[in-house]
Structure 1
Amino acid sequence: MAVNQGDRVVLRTEKISSDGSCIARTSEGLVVFVPGALPGEEIRVRIVRKKREYAIAEPEEILLAHSGRSLPFCPLYERCGGCQLQHAEYTLQCRLKRDIVRDAFERIYRAPFPDIVSCGPSPRDRNYRNKGSLPIGNAGGRTQAGYYARRSHDIVPVVSCPVLAKEICDVPGTVSDILSSLGFPSYDEKTGKGLFRHLILRCGSSTGNVLLSLVAARRLSKAEKERAEHRLVPLLRSHCPNLRTVTLNYNFSGNNVIVGEKTEPLFGDGLIEEELPPFRFRFDSTAFFQVNSEQAVRLYEAASRMAWAGGTEKVLELYSGIGTLTCFLAEGASSVTAVEEWMPSVERMKSNVEANGLSGKIKIIAGPVEENIRSLKGDFDTVVVDPPRTGCSREAIRSILTIAPRNIVYISCNPATLARDGALLLEGGYFPREIKCFDMFPHTVHVETVVRFTLGE
């Protein structure tokens, strides 16, 4: 008998899916996604959404629990969409993330690939995040910073977040109180009215520096700007002693992109510093920087070793950001050519490369990867890519294949697009030799993976 929306059924869960739900199947074979479940559990659920090819269920009672099930440590876990795996013990989380990478290669890459032995655990699984991006909205009649509830854009107000670094974990509640007390209106994405739409917090885990940025949906009036400079900033500084800088970012778009192109400081120079030993970096609120500094060092060391395999001399790095991985690559290469599109990051990369004494080994090219890679001259032993979650464009893949390096090192936070692009590289004659994954984001479903491809079998 087919299940319908609202029905209650008992299901046995199978593997975990890429969104953190577990997959189960009804007796008729309908795929059901069950959030909050773990593989191999027997659960009574209620079907809350029914589609032709799948359904989404809400767990009501766990009849047979996984031995690795644990109690979430955050009181907001059932409501907040920030974490997806707090109900699993941390060692189990790492096994599940390895399984997610394996599953992506089995489903999408669909060719033999090296065994993925384990997912490297994070040195810390709490207070590890050096960055928080919290939407600002109206909740309970007040301007509140929080996270979106699961599968919605309803704000779950956050007073303190236990996965944020200690320097910034209590700042969301403080900012909400200050914004409300000063009468700053939150942005309403439905009407397009209001002022502040996001709170961005960043900190240097090794330096203690804290950056706070408010993303505004419009220009501040003269009175609002004066209130921000003379009342907001002093209150923030009094509550956050490590605060190095406060900025305003302007995002006038009506879409879900968090930051806009223009940023201006309200206090300080708009930058913070962080150490990824042996290097030190400065960056702003809009730059990409791995959210887990200690784990980032392990990832970059592994990626660099892969890039140097076979006696690499010349490296081409695409999507270079502010130059973090670039500096690690330069340690063992004769030269690195780094390509980055986001101009604020290009400027930061230039200063970071110089500050770390690597200007003689690194050439920086500003502009989109697709436009610049076609015009690059010279032979490269290795191409390293660390693209956004959407992966590389087909044009970028084609251009890399035209360069025909000995090695391609691909870093990804999205196993699905990694496996998709890996299949394209396979068509071009490149085979995966080594796959390593790292838990950069404990208690979430996200996983960072690095793969070394080589030309020819």
Structure 2
Amino acid sequence: MKKRDIVEFKIDAMEFGGNSYGYVEDERVDIKGGITGQKVRVLIKKIRKDKIEGKLLNVIEKSPIEKAVTCKYFGECGGCSILSIPYEEQLQIKEGQILDLFAEKDFIGFKFLGVEGSPKFHEYRNKMEYTFGDEEKDGPLTLGLHKKGRMYDIITVDECFLVDKDFRKILKITVDYFERKKIPYYRNLTHKGYLRNLVVRKGLNTGEILVNLVTSSQMELDLGEYVNSILNLEIEGKVVGILHTLNDGLADVVKCDELKILYGRDYLYENLLGLKFKISPFSFFQTNTKGAERLYSIVREFIGNEKDKVIFDLYSGTGTIAQIVSKNAKKVIGIEIVKEAVEAAIENAKLNNITNCEFIAGDVGEKVKYLKEKPDLIIVDPPRPGIHKDALKDIVKFNAKEILYISCNPKTLVRDLAEFKKANYDIVKVKGMDMFPNTPHVETVVLIEKK
């Protein structure tokens, strides 16, 4: 076997994060994507002493476990890579992957509570970020998600299982409108063009919808007709704001150089476990509302009912967790690097009449050094890369009796837990919460205690 060979094999197993592997002539080949039991055709990309990497070209035979109904884009769209697996089996796969990662670090003796399924495994997302483009060179305008394995090809996903009918109707009327007007999309290679993204957010418990059209500043366009077309849609929710974001950045990410309100307001409200949250266009909020209610209920169950604890909420975002656990605490201090998120957290705490939460803007690694209060419990909910090693050392120095770790990446979770273990912390219990059905990702909650 050598580089650029095309080989066929059966996938032996899937690993957390969407990778899988099989064997060719007793040599393991790792690929991105794939489902256990599929027969696949693979291009060999890299051959190293310790690893062979391939690119999945196509599926020759489906896996016996692929029994679920899929949308018409499955296999083309890069979104729901395991949609074809029945949901209960998805949960079993994720349970196994979490346990495998813990076993690799020799973690034993903890209580594993399995992976709880999302209350909704279709139409569960409250936010979608769509991209304008075309599916083939010089083809008609498209608006949707990237095709699997393709950097520039965009497929219009107007029947996507991830979101409800309101999202699909807004997407369809948007792409039809701008295709009819022959407005050019922004091309990342030449940095020419106008239409970049459409971001739709919806409060699944309130029904409030925010529509955000993201463009370059390379055209002056009267968007009044487009606004009216959105407002005249027959939908279940209520559009409370239509926004126009100007983004002239070269990177292929949604960034705000200037925000214009075309209609209504630039925020929506969502309710979560009896609390009300104001969500701005660019603030973080869990994308699975019903799943978030279960996730935060698990957090409260792990914390317990004692009400005299001082709790630190690190990487606190817009303060959702801090406010939800505030009833179980004497005081909660949240730290978040994004200033806008901290401002939103303070505003949301006022909105909910919560007086025992304090929010600090800054880097966790820096700010924890200056906190004078000592925590009884620390909550950490870091981004996918996990806790920075310097911040982890500072967290350990607080000598808190308990640490609750919420992770969207079990790989970096077990890496960080190994460091906590060196600092004399034991894993007490672990529970997964499937916030991302039909994808290879899962949220994990872990309680650790000082020996």
Instruction: Assess same fold via TM > 0.5.
Output: yes
Q: Using the TM superposition, give the Cα deviation of residue 219 of structure 1 relative to its aligned residue in structure 2, in angstroms.
A: 3.1
Q: Contact conserved, 1:136 with 1:187, CA < 8 A, in 2?
A: yes
Question: What 5-or-longer segments of structure 2 have no aligned partner?
Answer: none
Aligned counterparts, 1:301-340, within 5 A: 301-308=297-304, 313-340=309-336
Mapped contact 1:5–1:48 kept (Cα < 8 A)? yes
Superposed CA RMSD: 2.3
Q: Does 1:152 align with 2:146?
A: no
Compared CA separation, residues 453 and 253, structure 1 to 2 (3 A): farther
- Between the aligned partners of 2:428 and 2:211, the Cα distance in structure 1 is 42
TM-score by structure 2 length? 0.91
Deviation at 1:167, TM superposition (A): 2.7
Asked whether the 8 Å contact 1:199–1:215 carries over to 2, the reply is yes
Provide the C-alpha distance between the structure 2 equivalents of 1:431 and 1:450, rounded to a whole number of angstroms. Answer: 14
Mapped to 1, the partners of 2:198 and 2:433 lie a distance apart of 27
Please report how far the alpha carbon of residue 209 of structure 1 lies from its aligned counterpart in structure 2 after TM superposition. 0.7
In 1, Cα distance between equivalents of 2:207 and 2:44:
45
Find the residue that maps to 1:177 and give its secondary structure.
helix
Cα pair distance change 1:252/1:387, threshold 3 Å: farther
Which residue does 2:293 correspond to in 1?
297
Of 270-279 and 194-203, the range deviating more from structure 2: 194-203
**How many angstroms does 1:90 deviate by?**
0.6
Q: Which amino acid aligns with 2:181?
A: L
**Counterpart for residue 284 of structure 2:** 288
Q: 1:20 aligns with which of 3, 18, 30?
A: 18
Alpha-carbon distance between aligned partners in 2 of 1:379 and 1:177, rounded to the nearest angstrom: 57
Mapping for residues 80-159 of structure 1, pairs under 5 Å: 80-107=77-104, 109-112=105-108, 114-139=110-135, 141-153=139-151, 154-159=153-158
TM-score by length of 1: 0.90
Q: Secondary structure at the match of 2:74?
A: coil
How far 1:445 sits from its partner (Å)? 0.9
Q: What is the Cα deviation at residue 22 of structure 1?
A: 3.0
* 1:257–1:376 Cα change, 3 Å: farther
Question: Partner of 2:229 in structure 1?
Answer: 235
1:391 partnered with 2:386 = yes
The one-letter amino acid paired with 2:349 is V
- Does the 8 A contact of 2:115 with 2:433 survive in 1? yes
Distance 1:185 1:113, change over 3 A: farther
Inter-partner Cα distance in structure 2 for 1:326 and 1:289: 13
Q: Could you tell me whether the CA contact under 8 Å between 2:41 and 2:60 is conserved in 1?
A: no
Q: What CA deviation, in whole Å up to 9, does each residue of 1:261-292 have, x standing for no partner?
A: 75342221111111112111110121111111
Conserved in 2, the CA contact under 8 Å of 1:49 and 1:57? no
Picking from 41, 46, 69, the partner of 1:46 is 41
Amino acid in the other structure paired with 1:193: K
Q: Secondary structure at the match of 1:197?
A: strand
> Following TM superposition, by how much is the alpha carbon of 1:347 offset from its aligned partner in structure 2, in angstroms?
2.1
**Within 2, Cα distance between the matches of 1:246 and 1:318?**
33
1:240 deviates by 5.7
- Measure, in 1, the Cα distance between the counterparts of 2:381 and 2:294: 15
Work out the CA distance in 1 between the residues paired with 2:308 and 2:255.
Answer: 37
Question: In 2 relative to 1, CA 262–313 (structure 1 residues): closer, same or farther, beyond 3 Å?
Answer: farther
SS of match in other structure, 1:290: coil
CA contact (8 A) 1:307 1:408 kept: no
Q: Take 2:190 and 2:303, find their aligned partners in 1: how far apart are those partners?
A: 49
Instruction: Name 2:214's counterpart in structure 1.
Output: 215
The answer on whether the counterparts of 1:5 and 1:47 sit within 8 Å (CA) in structure 2 is: no
Query: Any idea what SS the aligned residue of 1:426 has?
Result: helix
More off after superposition, 329-338 vs 140-149: 140-149
Q: Judge conservation of contact 1:98–1:116 (CA < 8 Å) in 2.
A: no
- 1:451 equivalent among 442, 446, 451: 446
1:180 matches 2:179: yes
Residues 389, 417 of structure 1: 8 Å contact kept: yes
Identity %: 26
2:241 matches 1:245: yes
Cα contact 2:248–2:257 (8 A) shared by 1: no
Q: Within 5 Å, which residues of 2 pair with 1:404-419?
A: 404-419=399-414
Instruction: For residue 34 of structure 1, report the CA deviation from its aligned partner.
Output: 7.0
The alpha-carbon distance between structure 1 residues 58 and 34, as it changes in their structure 2 partners (threshold 3 A), is: farther
The separation in 2 between residues aligned to 1:261 and 1:371, in whole angstroms, is 28
Is the 2:299–2:445 Cα contact (8 Å) retained in structure 1? yes
8 Å contact kept, 1:308–1:333: no
What amino acid is the match of 2:411? Answer: A
Q: Secondary structure at the match of 1:247?
A: strand
